[in-house]
Amino acid sequence: MAEKLASNDMYGDQSDEEDVKVAAQEPIKPAPLPKAKLPDLPIIEKNNWLIHMLFINKEFEKCKQVIKEQIEMTERTCEYALYVQGMIQRNEAMIQESLESFQAAAMLNPNSLENLKQVGRSLYLLGRHKAALDIYAEAAKLSSQDPELLHNQGVCLVYLNDYSKAEECFKKALSVQKTEHSYSQLGRCTSYEVIRTEH
């Protein structure tokens, strides 16, 4: 009896071998294909991977060409292409152009801390320290504990001769992350303060 149960299907008397034979005889029907082709929609970020690869491999000429095509195709709405364009422009000492690219990226995504930090960096490099400080203050609303942001605020304050506030920024930056740059700037602040008080 046990042998008979073992060879029978649990739902009937058909064996596994018979199931396989029946399945082999029935043709498999492919799923029907859609009759209408879906529209080819432009994807704003479709070339971001290529832009990234070319940028990190320092193939800037090819990267600039892909960025140009991407920006034209998306009518300047591809944030990443604008961001990388700004990085390349800054690398090529085209600081004003980099500022414009970063500002365009920041307009597309005003809640991006990285976009705002790059706008601030370009303003700083242009010698517009007060404007850079204003942008860093705006970025601080998004992340008050970013050590790079705190450090950059301190550097701008040094250029504006506000050493006590600069010192506070460097100390805050160091409390979040200890870096040689912030220690160095803190030392300079302290020496500037000493010189100022002696005179």
* Cα–Cα distance for residue pair 160/64, rounded to 1 Å: 36
pTM as predicted: 0.74
Backbone angles phi, psi at 61, to 5 degrees: -65, -45
- Residue 86, SS3 per DSSP: helix
Whether residue 19 is predicted with pLDDT greater than 80 in this model: the reply is no
Q: Taking a C-beta distance cutoff of 8 angstroms, is the pair 101, 79 a contact? A: no
pLDDT of residue 53: 95
pLDDT band per the 50, 70, 90 thresholds, residue 1: very low
Better-predicted residue by pLDDT, 182 or 11:
182
pLDDT band per the 50, 70, 90 thresholds, residue 194: low
pLDDT of residue 89: 98
User: 60 is written with which tokens?
Assistant: 């800037």
pLDDT of residue 15: 53
Neighbours of 80 (CB within 10 A): 20
